[in-house]
Amino acid sequence: MFNHILGSYTKAVSLRKLLQAEVSRHNLYSRKKSFAIAMAEALDKLEQEREAKKVAKEAEDGSVKEVNRLKRTLKRKKWVDWKAQDEEDAANGKKRAPFDPADRIKRKKSAILLSYCGANYYGMQRNPGMQTIEEELFKAMLKHKWITEDSFEQVQIACFQRAARTDKGVSAARQVCSVKLPEELDLEAFNKDLPEQIRIFGVERVTKGFNAKDQCNARTYTYTLPTIAFAAFDDQHDQETYRIPIERLEKVSATLKLYEGTKNFHNFTSKKNFLDPSAKRFIMSFTCSTPFLSPQSVEFVTLKVKGQSFMLHQIRKMVGLAIAIVRGNTTTATLERALTEERLDLPMAPGLGLVLDTVHYERYNDRYGNDGIHKPLTWAEQEEQVTQFVEKYIYSNIYKTEAEQRNMLDWLSTLHFHSYDTRREEPAKINNDDDDGEE
């Protein structure tokens, strides 16, 4: 009997403990559940606050952007108070020009093929107070109603963009520019209002988003110079009588080939350091032509370099160092060092012989050239005219100027002043926008 009572009591105690444990577990679960619910509610509230702040910020940013856009529009269009302007003009004896219907002509994005001799011009790019190629071009465009008065003042309105810049004295055989133009154009009449050393040989309709600089995937430059530039530095020949030996010509070609490929050209421009990613450029080919005689009986060669893009002074420095190597002023070891992180003192060849030869649009042509709407930008139909112009105005100027002024001979006498060794570091440019041409 006692054992039976003891057993019942033990079972009762165990059951009580079990019930207490179950109650405790249930309370813990309830507390955890309440905590989880509270956390979820707090997170939802936080997310809602963040979303509200984001929406408010976007609205504020949108308002700021809209205000800035309107400011740019007002600045670009140059809105004026015409009533006040008329009163001022009347006081000065002036009268507002009547509305020009040409301002309402529909204009479409076009690519123009431009050739020019850079002699006597301060480069391609417009520069207030300076005689430039673009200034002559824009004046003729305004006269023939190709662009409006507003576009003449701010060519960005007409979406003008050149494929490559050229510096003072540098010419272009096949420069390409993009700009919005009327559909009906009289090219012959237009060219009559340009100086004879500037000509537009072709205009092609292009896609709305076409940009002459951005769509260009390669550029080819030529550099024409007398062969005496490659004579040994102690050679006593005259410029008119010198004829380059075949083995020296082979040395020229071998030296130029060292530039090919993707390399760091920070030494061949100004104010770029070795770590600047934009100092790396891809040279596809660099060749030398067979020698030929100019009308003045001076022997010349033409160097041709094709690359994706070039930096300020890059080609002229590449040519300058190649000349110094072939002449014996330095060795190919200097060229190898120039492509490393060292900062070297290198010569820069004169600008006279440099010509922008061709601007390449292979990718654009592959995509749009045969779509039935647009033509490929190869300018094959204009090639004969371009060749005649280049021979008459560009190369003839190079031959004549070299024979009369002896630019190359004067420059050769300065090669021994260069150390071809380490020089002090230049301050790097803050704005490292990719250059669109050799200057």
Q: Which residues are catalytic?
A: 167
Q: Return the structure tokens found at 169.
A: 């004295």
The sign of the dihedral angle between the CA atoms of 373, 377, 378, 382 is positive
Q: Is residue 221 annotated as involved in ligand binding?
A: yes
Helix axis angle, 246-257 to 314-327, nearest 10°: 140
Q: Burial, 225: exposed, middle or buried (Cβ in 10 Å; 0-12, 13-18, 19+)?
A: buried
Q: How far apart are CA 267 and CA 340, in angstroms?
A: 9
Q: Return the structure tokens found at 421.
A: 């060794």
The sign of the dihedral angle between the CA atoms of 47, 51, 52, 56 is positive
User: Which amino acid type is present at position 81?
Assistant: D
Q: Is residue 169 within 8 Å of 160, Cβ to Cβ?
A: no
391 secondary structure, DSSP code: I
Reference 176, options 398, 364, 397, 302; nearest CA is 364
Q: How far apart are CA 208 and CA 368, in angstroms?
A: 12
Provide the strand spans (E) within 168-260.
171-182, 198-205, 218-226
Q: Is residue 154 within 8 Å of 100, Cβ to Cβ?
A: no
Q: Is residue 402 within 8 Å of 352, Cβ to Cβ?
A: yes
Strand 171-182 with 354-360, pairing? parallel
Q: Which helix (H) or strand (E) holds 82?
A: helix 82-91
Q: How far apart are CA 287 and CA 255, in angstroms?
A: 10
Annotated binding-site positions: 221
Binding residues for substrate: 221
